[in-house]
Amino acid sequence: MDEIADRYRRRAAAFEDKIAAVRPEQWPNPSPCARWSARDVVRHIVDMHDVMLRPLGLTLSPAPSVDEDPLAAFRAARADVQEILGDPARAGQECDTPGGRMTVEQHIDRVVSDDLPLHGWDLARATAQDDTIDPEDVERGWAALRALPPGLLEQFRTPGAFGPGVEVFGPEVKVEEDASPQDRLLALIGRDPGWKA
């Protein structure tokens, strides 16, 4: 449990730093996620924190909206999830998820925690920040994707497979054989590593 909580804290802190570095005029900037602005990237992450609480019958605590204050909205959502991870009884509770039955902490680890480095790259690209993903997260993400059962990765690429309007990954992007591990990971999930605003 400590490993999952520590990983989430590290990734959330890095994402929060990126939000804090966004200048007000950059929030409408386009992002590598089609149809999403920089603000929409943060909105998605905050919304996914809410999804992590639902198996426990909880919702996010009252906080400013992402439209009002993206940083405050994320900080509040982060605090809610960290509170769950700090409570062994709630973190260890089993729940049904699109990925199968697992504990709440496993769901957090495999969904919103794994999303933070990737969407951190999106936010960084949209707002001209350092877009380097922690090599540990790149290695972990690559191993997890390569270990998916046959056909599941393609299901992730199918719009609507996990609900109306839900699109997890885009089509794989071709990169050079000598591309960096980060670029290969991004390409596998449908991001163009060379994307620029």
Q: Please state the separation of Cα 19 from the chain's center in Å.
A: 14
The verdict on 93 and 106 lying in the same domain is: yes
Q: Tally the domains of the chain.
A: 2
Contact 138, 185 (CB under 8 A): yes
What domain range is 189 assigned to? Answer: 134-197
Do 157 and 75 belong to one domain? Answer: no
Q: For 117, what's the count of Cα atoms within 13 Å in the CB-facing half-sphere? A: 24
Are both 103 and 149 inside the same structural domain? no
Q: What CATH number is given to the structural domain containing 26?
A: 1.20.120.450
| pTM as predicted | 0.92
Contact 176, 184 (CB under 8 A): no
Q: Are 91 and 52 in contact (CB under 8 A)?
A: no
55 and 152 housed in the same domain = no
CA atoms within 13 A on the CB side of 188: 19
* Structural domain ending residue among the three candidates 82, 112, 131: 131
pLDDT band at 166 (very low <50, low <70, confident <90, very high): low
Give the integer Cα–Cα distance in Å for 117 and 134.
8
Task: Evaluate whether 139 touches 181 at the Cβ level (below 8 Å).
Answer: yes
Q: Which of 105, 131, 157 is the last residue of a domain?
A: 131
In the block, tokens 């802190």 appear at 13
Q: Are residues 127 and 150 in the same domain?
A: no
Q: What is the number of residues in the chain?
A: 197
Question: Does residue 114 share a domain with residue 75?
Answer: yes
Same domain, 140 and 194: yes
The 10 Å Cβ neighbour count of residue 191 is: 21
* Distance (Å) of CA 40 to CA 20, 27, 92: 15, 9, 31
For 107-116, how does the pLDDT look when each residue is reduced to its tens digit (9 = 90+)? 999 999 999 9
Question: Could you tell me if 103 and 49 lie in one domain?
Answer: yes
The residue out of 115, 131, 147 marking a domain boundary is 131
Both 98 and 123 in one domain: the answer is: yes
More confident residue, 152 or 167: 152
Residue type, 188: L
pLDDT at 34: 83
Q: Are residue 10 and residue 87 in the same domain, yes or no?
A: yes
Do 102 and 162 have their domain in common? no
Instruction: Kindly report the backbone phi and psi dihedral angles of residue 91, in degrees, each rounded to the nearest multiple of 5, phi listed first.
Output: -65, -35
Residues 161 and 142 in one domain: yes
- pLDDT tens-digit readout, 117-159: 999 999 999 999 999 999 999 999 999 888 887 777 777 777 6
